[in-house]
Structure 1
Amino acid sequence: MLHFLSQWLSALFIRPTDRPAERSASRSASSRLISRRSPFWNRPLYLLIGLVSVLSMSLGFVPRLSAQSTDLQRQENQVIREFALPPTPAAPPVYQPEPFAEPAYSEPADSEPSGEFSAGESTAGASPTGESSNSAATARPTDRPTGARSSRARQPILPYVLEFTRSPVVGNRLRLQGVYAESRLGFTRPQNWQINSAKLVVRFQHSPSLLPDQSNLTLRVNDTSIGSVKLDRPNSQVAQATFEIPKDLIQDYNEISMLAEQQTSETCTNPADPTLWTEILPDSKILFEYRPQPVQLNFSRYPFPFLDNLSLDTNQLTYLQPQTVSSNWLTAIARFQASAARIVDFRPLDTRLVNSLTEVKSNEKLVIVGTPAEQPILSQLTLPYTVRNGQILDGKKSPLPADVGVLMLTTVKNSGVPVLVATGNSAEAVLKAVQFLVQTKDREIGAGQALTVATLADVPSPAPREWSGYLPTANKFQLSDLMMRNRQPFEDVTVHGSKTLPIVADFRALPDDRFLRGSTATLNYSYSPQLNPRVSAIEVTLDNVTIGAKRLTSTNGGRESYNVELPEKLIKPDSKLGVHFVLQPQNPGACGLVAEQQLWGTLHSDSSFDIVRDNVVKLPDLKLLKTGFPVTAPQDLSNTIVVLPNEPKPADLQTLIAFSDRMGRLSHSDAIQLQVYAAKDLPAAAKSQSHLVGIGTRDRFPFPEAFETAGLNLGESFARMLGDSQVQALPDPEGMVKEIVSPWNSDRLLLALTGQTEQGLQDLQDFFRQDPLFSRLQGDTALISRNRANPVAYDSSAYNLQFLQDAPKRRIENTDWMTRLQLFLQDNWYLVPLGIVVLALLLYSMSQLFINRVVSSGDS
């Protein structure tokens, strides 16, 4: 490059001559024309500047050339890493769902008289048929012989009953109160359903004071009316009405609206009359007839069909346990389970382990993770890549490199069970394949029935206090920085009418936040004209506790702001901020009924907050584990290590899966970096670098140090120790969750999931799966046991919980020196008066020395 530049400069500035005569003539001509030439070329300084400029420009191209060379090298490496593909399958694998063994639908029997109604889309009302509900059930299309349902060939259209009791908002009943009352329920349509027909069966009872000719119940599906029925049953008898739902109305997400008009007077009904009620009973239901559609397996649709957010049934995953369990397999399963839990979010997810394909049931979703040596069954499956002699071969029958992960889709059980295979020719390759699925952005590029994962981008770990759905780490932020229920940024929200529901936003504090006095919120809002400002206001609540209210001031509407102080003791990791518009029209209506739909109020997303807080937390505290802290800090779980006994048993593995499931639901990030080891593989340095979670029964627990600390400890022969007390419990079936400060690092924690028997571990699994149980967590030690031999799934009343707080707490601070000094003085308050006395004596001594010096100087 430099040689080229020197030649180019020589050619530019020096005119070549071939003969001496020409050179002398040139010099003389040059001397004669020097006055006519520009002096630039004759000054050495300008020549040097030009040379430096050219060199700088040329050197500026060097990084570009280097970058281009790097890109070229990367492209060459990518070409080199491309492998010979196997022959394209003649047909992609197709999952054929088997019909569920759905019980035949039968009407509930009532001791009281019951009426049967039938309403269609164009029917304004219906009258009693005079038949009992049980006799009416004989003509139901869902009452088909059980044998017909068991065969897809003879009966491709299947029934499904969706009862209202499955919604948590129903409880014992849905109550419609007032002159015009409304209630809503939502339901989904599974992705592989083709709806043939749908009926809504509503069972209800109403006040006997209602006027039959002026009271009715109207049903809507997705804002489309499907029928109405009169409220004319005497003595609050239970009635039933059936409504046809046009199948074209049913979408992926659906909403049923139940609207009641209730009148007790022909002239003027008092809207506050307590006799204005209608109750929708929880045994109301939707009757579907659907045809399950075959699903072509393709990674472009992942995670479906293995996980379906629209499913009306519990998602189910089945893991095939390998012959030998390695630390890499444990890590892969834990990460996959945490990712699956994030995908289904609040929906239930059941998992189980099997040792062979014969244990897999129809419609279960099978996941096989491991190398061909760990999972010999791979050689017997129909897969895109050939598996032979414990290795995966490419299209040229050559083994794939040891660092290349492979993902494949297939089916078993006559296409009744879809199978996801994550494999490779080494344990590291298997983990890379699973990591592709748990990294949100990477799995979006998947397609086809097989993927080879040669390289995978590293996803940087988020900051420990960067939690999605919680308050931002900045002390000043806007409402738009918070998340709505759909995990989207908060936007302007408008409510209409005089009986509006509060606008609710998650105001969840980070677990290690300590709020101080002086936190404020400035709410920006606007409202409609035509309201009465004397009785209209905006109310602000925090966890349903009113913290401020302001009267609306203008009859013409407008935009205003309201500054309210946030009580520091009310802001918690599960707090919700509510803004309620109380709107009343200018002119009262007749009989207490008012025209209200013209009234509206809007909360603007540019509302701002100014928070005063520091980062102080006292550990151990299992109450913080309800948010995942400190396991989920950072949110990719990269600062946590789970350790299992050597040669873990199924109970240990199921506990690992349950724990990973719960931590996955409590965290949100673009990747999962949770690490799991068998005790023999745990690096020595890892004990002091990360939070530790130990799983196993007491005799096989990987950290015996957990039973040598303050508080409740387990010993041999079913011994229990608490301080100087010791007992023996026979038997001891309880599971135990114990949190202590790590013996290897005082800034880290050790979480023990243990028990004297495997029964205790099974109870721990139910504890982590069930929200009502897990939400009660507190103290530093929790004991879980069942009070029934075989509890029903998700029945929280079948378990006993006991919480202990005996271990000393350690404060972990992340704040400035002034706050540290304040906290120190708060903990050691007795030093304050002692310090005042010492300071007073010191000042007195200094003053006496000064006075003595002044006196001595005066005497001299």
Structure 2
Amino acid sequence: MQRIFRHLLSSSRRQSCPGSRQQRPVIWLLLLTFAGTAIGVTASLAVAQQNDRDITQDENQVIEELTLPEPPPQAPVYQPAPEPAPYEPAPEPAPEPAPAEAPAPREPAAIEPDPEPAAPPAATAPEPASSPTSPGANPNPSSTPDAVAARGPTVPYVLEFNRSPVVGNRLRLQGVFADARLGFTRPRTWNLRSAKVLVRFQHSPALLANRSNLTVRVNGTSVGSVPLNRKQSEIGQVLLNVPPNLIQDFNEVTLVAQQNNSATCTDPADPTLWTEVLPDSKLIFNYQPKPVKLDFTRYPYPFFDDLSLDPNRVTYLLPNQVNSAWLTSAARFQAALGRLAEFRPLETRLVKNLNQAKADERLVVIGTPEEQPALKSLKLPLAIADNQVLDASRNPLPAESGILMLATTRNNGIPVLIATGNGPEGVNKAVQFLVQSKDRQIGTGYYLVVNSVTPVPTPPLRQWPGYLPEKNSFKLRELNNAENEPFEDVTVRGAYAPPVEVNFRALPDDQFTRGSSMNLVYSYGPQVNPRLSTVEVRLDGAPIGGKRLTSEQGAARDTLNVNLPAELVKPDSKIQVAFNLSPREPANCGRINDQQLWGKVHADTNFKLKRQNVVQIPDLKLLATGYPFAAPQDLSTTAIVVPETPSVTDLSTLLEFSERLGRLSQADTVKIEAYTQDALTTEVKQRQNLVGIGVRSQFPFPEAFQENGFALKNVFSRKWNQSQIQALPDSEGVIKEVISPWNDDRVLLALSAQTETGLQQVQNLLNQDPLFFQLNGDTVLISANQASASGYDPDAYNLEFLQQSSQRRLDNSNPFSKVSRFLQDHWFVLPTGIVVFALGLYGITQLYLKRVEKQDK
């Protein structure tokens, strides 16, 4: 800048001749302009330098106040316990030992595990005892605990076919060429050594042995075949080896039966063409457990493994005193686990000390060091003194900072997730970091200090992922498929092609009216028989429209407009588009050459809906979708309340309900709240949908059991309308929903019982899908017929549904829709209104005529 000034001044001196006097004003103007620019740039540089100095000072101050320790040599490593799966068949009783000095017999397994396959000597030889830092040592990065399996014997695992709900009592293969598929996963802690599949079957005695066989495929690769040559439907079995390298994270076993009962021509519709795979068929694995280095990069693994063949088991360590802050953090964390689990089983329990945790569980510790004294007994990267977490300089971390740490206990056999801080705000921030899917993606290492968490705005009330969009006109690509991805064009092939299925889930507060329609856009290939080929649209299996495929050359982007019956669209509805394709050429000996037949559903298929935002409460049937507690989807309008001194059963019920809401909702965060009875405020009562938990004697909302309707009373009495009884023992659980006494637009849900045994029945209903999705009415009574009842057994539980009070309508539609619906509901008012309107109009007309007559006179 100084050089520019000097150049201009020198130029002005050279031009200070009489002939250049006219240019002096221009030169001085340029000088002034550059001077102003220089001053502005200098000021900007000064401000920038000052800002840099301020930022540097702030960073230095933070570094001085918070000093994190250097990473220890190795991160904590979790070593899975090699325990057999709980689903392994029970062994037969061992024979009595001989009275002589013979050794005691070994307890036989249901299926003897295969011997461990021979491995190269380098793989089985023990490692040298020398340290990696010793002279001449050559450490191999691939030999870290994360890359290789633990040395040791293999562990057997048996996976029976009947664990799949589609199997039931048998897996039936019907027709000339039939197949069935079963899926399974490989847990992340497995180093698979061997795999086998044992298939037990029986088939029709009419099958020809030389033309009928059963083939087993694993991930598309055939692993063996057996002829169907058993006589008189005798049970046969075949044990087939599966190469371990065929087993991936997600796998599929396909059973293919080719069946013929004639040497010349077999009728595919013949009912004697059948083979049944028995439910005790199984997959047999031998694996070595792999140690896992704990790191937040892999979170939520190992605390939740979506590839696990067994239920994920999570255990919470109870604090020395339960307060609202711990309840809220635990409820939010459990709801986030429910979202991760989706349809997978999840088992949760609470323990009072670290020694009560089992080897196959994952331990979660939430709370400050003062609330969780057991933290001092764990090997942690950050020190704890005077009930505060310290940094490397032995200074307490800020109370508003959340701290997340990973550790192990019991000889590295149980992984521990710790969410702590030196204050409740820090603990909440640590948990909030884990429940917000976008924030936890940046986590790494095995301990984190969470200084801030991105605030996530509450989504709109009726924006539910996986359900119909809020707008009434939309296209198929705006819906999600079974993989929760936007719908794309789908093509199906063959004469017996499966239908294209679309999730058409209405919002819980949607009320459809006449006039809703679907405009199907589809294509199909040539060579179809126009007399026998059709496209059909079904809604929950009920046909609602169809059209004949008339072009032998095929058609591109043909359309079919279908009316959607208002009474059939529900929150769990599905639309199926079925192509019934028949070839032009006749069948050859009952076999249809149909590979040239295809049909396609296009993603620009569009919908036009007529609906209103109306819902009736209370209604427990709506709880199957989470409504109204999951509106909005971040659960910000829900508050769970437990007694002032909650029991372990109360807390377990709180976790089960939070998990269920997590399974039923999708959002970027969780904002559910939880309180003890003494911490609940009037503002929360008026603002939130409330969930009360506790036995009758300590239930936080006695308003839920008033004189009208079903009520639990003292001395084990119960009342229903004018009837009152005393029942002893009373082990039934009660779920009751009423309109909130503090807000007519909110509901109060009671999860209660006379005893804790009854409250455990409420937990069973919340945990088991077959029971939960039966909810109806506004009150349900739950009882179990046996101690360890299964939700899939229809005779294991008794559910009694009651409707105790009239429902209230919540109407958020526009005024025109309200008037229209009022006239529809009260149609008898319309004729009366017309007569009254006509009489009034007649009276007004007569008055007007009389006034005109008087003016004429």
Superposition TM-score tier, normalisation by shorter sequence: 0.7 to 0.9
The whole-number CA distance in structure 2 between the counterparts of 1:409 and 1:108 is 38
Q: Which amino acid aligns with 1:725?
A: S
Give the conservation status (yes or no) of the 8 Å contact 2:731–2:757: yes
1:147-296 pair list within 5 angstroms:
156-296=153-293
Q: Which amino acid aligns with 1:97?
A: P
How far has the Cα of 1:415 moved from its partner? 0.8
How far has the Cα of 1:101 moved from its partner? 3.8
The whole-number CA distance in structure 2 between the counterparts of 1:665 and 1:824 is 36
Q: Which amino acid aligns with 1:599?
A: L
Give the match for residue 421 of structure 2: 424
* % identity of equivalent residues: 51
Report the CA distance shift for 1:600/1:76 in structure 2 as closer, same or farther (over 3 A).
Answer: farther
How far has the Cα of 1:726 moved from its partner? 2.6
The whole-number CA distance in structure 1 between the counterparts of 2:302 and 2:680 is 36
For structure 1, the 5+ residue unaligned runs are 1-7, 110-134, 145-151
Q: Which moved more, 1:90-99 or 1:506-515?
A: 90-99
How far has the Cα of 1:711 moved from its partner? 1.6
List per-residue Cα deviations over 1:768-787 (Å, max 9, x = no partner).
00001001001111111112
Cα RMSD of the aligned pairs, angstroms, is: 3.3
Report the CA distance shift for 1:404/1:286 in structure 2 as closer, same or farther (over 3 A).
Answer: same
List per-residue Cα deviations over 1:537-590 (Å, max 9, x = no partner).
111100000001111121112211111111111100000010111111110121
Give the conservation status (yes or no) of the 8 Å contact 1:81–1:454: no
Pick one of 699, 713, 724 that aligns with 2:711.
713
The whole-number CA distance in structure 2 between the counterparts of 1:648 and 1:104 is 34
How far has the Cα of 1:840 moved from its partner? 2.1
Give the match for residue 69 of structure 2: 86
Report the CA distance shift for 1:456/1:286 in structure 2 as closer, same or farther (over 3 A).
Answer: same
Pick one of 665, 668, 674 that aligns with 1:667.
665
How far has the Cα of 1:413 moved from its partner? 0.9
Q: Which amino acid aligns with 1:358?
A: N
Give the match for residue 114 of structure 2: 141
* TM-score when normalising by structure 1: 0.87
How far has the Cα of 1:751 moved from its partner? 0.9
The whole-number CA distance in structure 2 between the counterparts of 1:687 and 1:74 is 45
The whole-number CA distance in structure 1 between the counterparts of 2:54 and 2:676 is 39
The whole-number CA distance in structure 1 between the counterparts of 2:718 and 2:167 is 44
Give the match for residue 343 of structure 1: 340
How far has the Cα of 1:534 moved from its partner? 1.6
Report the count of equivalent residues. Answer: 798
The whole-number CA distance in structure 1 between the counterparts of 2:501 and 2:56 is 51
How far has the Cα of 1:344 moved from its partner? 1.6
The whole-number CA distance in structure 2 between the counterparts of 1:71 and 1:538 is 69
The whole-number CA distance in structure 2 between the counterparts of 1:266 and 1:634 is 64
Report the CA distance shift for 1:166/1:533 in structure 2 as closer, same or farther (over 3 A).
Answer: same
Partner SS state of residue 299, structure 1: coil
Give the match for residue 405 of structure 1: 402
The whole-number CA distance in structure 2 between the counterparts of 1:143 and 1:171 is 33
List per-residue Cα deviations over 1:314-371 (Å, max 9, x = no partner).
1000111011001010011111111111112101000101011121111211111111
The whole-number CA distance in structure 2 between the counterparts of 1:141 and 1:167 is 24
Pick one of 432, 437, 449 that aligns with 2:434.
437
1:762-801 pair list within 5 angstroms:
762-791=760-789, 795=793, 797-801=795-799
Give the conservation status (yes or no) of the 8 Å contact 1:338–1:664: yes
Pick one of 524, 527, 530 that aligns with 2:524.
527
Report the CA distance shift for 1:225/1:104 in structure 2 as closer, same or farther (over 3 A).
Answer: same
Give the conservation status (yes or no) of the 8 Å contact 1:142–1:159: no
Report the CA distance shift for 1:326/1:421 in structure 2 as closer, same or farther (over 3 A).
Answer: same
Q: In the alignment, does 2:810 pair up with 1:837?
A: no
The whole-number CA distance in structure 1 between the counterparts of 2:835 and 2:716 is 55
Give the conservation status (yes or no) of the 8 Å contact 1:773–1:796: no
List per-residue Cα deviations over 1:38-75 (Å, max 9, x = no partner).
9x999xxxx9xx99xx99xx99x99x999999999788
Give the conservation status (yes or no) of the 8 Å contact 2:429–2:450: yes
Give the conservation status (yes or no) of the 8 Å contact 2:177–2:259: yes
Q: Which moved more, 1:332-341 or 1:76-85?
A: 76-85
List per-residue Cα deviations over 1:460-483 (Å, max 9, x = no partner).
111111101000111111111111
Partner SS state of residue 369, structure 2: coil
Partner SS state of residue 303, structure 2: coil
The whole-number CA distance in structure 1 between the counterparts of 2:248 and 2:221 is 13
Q: In the alignment, does 2:95 pair up with 1:98?
A: no
The whole-number CA distance in structure 2 between the counterparts of 1:423 and 1:835 is 67
1:341-420 pair list within 5 angstroms:
341-420=338-417
Give the conservation status (yes or no) of the 8 Å contact 2:84–2:156: no
How far has the Cα of 1:100 moved from its partner? 1.2
Q: Which moved more, 1:377-386 or 1:550-559?
A: 550-559
Q: In the alignment, does 2:580 pair up with 1:555?
A: no
How far has the Cα of 1:797 moved from its partner? 3.2
Pick one of 309, 320, 323 that aligns with 1:323.
320
Pick one of 593, 596, 600 that aligns with 1:598.
596
1:802-817 pair list within 5 angstroms:
802-817=800-815
The whole-number CA distance in structure 1 between the counterparts of 2:50 and 2:602 is 51
Give the match for residue 748 of structure 1: 746
Give the match for residue 819 of structure 1: 817
Partner SS state of residue 849, structure 2: helix
Give the conservation status (yes or no) of the 8 Å contact 1:105–1:143: no
Q: Which amino acid aligns with 1:191?
A: R
Report the CA distance shift for 1:529/1:426 in structure 2 as closer, same or farther (over 3 A).
Answer: same
Give the conservation status (yes or no) of the 8 Å contact 1:93–1:409: yes
The whole-number CA distance in structure 1 between the counterparts of 2:57 and 2:478 is 43
Give the conservation status (yes or no) of the 8 Å contact 2:91–2:110: no
Report the CA distance shift for 1:796/1:400 in structure 2 as closer, same or farther (over 3 A).
Answer: farther
Pick one of 308, 313, 334 that aligns with 2:310.
313
Report the CA distance shift for 1:451/1:795 in structure 2 as closer, same or farther (over 3 A).
Answer: farther
For structure 2, the 5+ residue unaligned runs are 93-107, 118-148
Partner SS state of residue 682, structure 2: coil
How far has the Cα of 1:814 moved from its partner? 1.1
Give the match for residue 736 of structure 1: 734
* TM-score when normalising by structure 2: 0.88
Partner SS state of residue 330, structure 2: helix
Give the match for residue 493 of structure 2: 496
Pick one of 681, 690, 693 that aligns with 1:692.
690
The whole-number CA distance in structure 2 between the counterparts of 1:72 and 1:278 is 81
The whole-number CA distance in structure 1 between the counterparts of 2:371 and 2:90 is 51
List per-residue Cα deviations over 1:392-426 (Å, max 9, x = no partner).
00011100000011111111111111111111101
Give the conservation status (yes or no) of the 8 Å contact 2:732–2:753: yes
Give the conservation status (yes or no) of the 8 Å contact 2:150–2:289: no
1:429-468 pair list within 5 angstroms:
429-468=426-465
The whole-number CA distance in structure 1 between the counterparts of 2:395 and 2:340 is 36
Report the CA distance shift for 1:329/1:105 in structure 2 as closer, same or farther (over 3 A).
Answer: closer
Give the conservation status (yes or no) of the 8 Å contact 1:550–1:562: yes
Q: Which amino acid aligns with 1:388?
A: A
Give the conservation status (yes or no) of the 8 Å contact 2:620–2:779: yes
Report the CA distance shift for 1:71/1:564 in structure 2 as closer, same or farther (over 3 A).
Answer: farther
Give the match for residue 727 of structure 1: 725
Report the CA distance shift for 1:468/1:226 in structure 2 as closer, same or farther (over 3 A).
Answer: same
The whole-number CA distance in structure 1 between the counterparts of 2:51 and 2:849 is 79
Report the CA distance shift for 1:300/1:843 in structure 2 as closer, same or farther (over 3 A).
Answer: same
List per-residue Cα deviations over 1:578-634 (Å, max 9, x = no partner).
011111111012112111112111111111111111100111111001000000001
Report the CA distance shift for 1:653/1:66 in structure 2 as closer, same or farther (over 3 A).
Answer: farther
The whole-number CA distance in structure 2 between the counterparts of 1:475 and 1:335 is 33
The whole-number CA distance in structure 2 between the counterparts of 1:543 and 1:402 is 54
Report the CA distance shift for 1:478/1:614 in structure 2 as closer, same or farther (over 3 A).
Answer: same
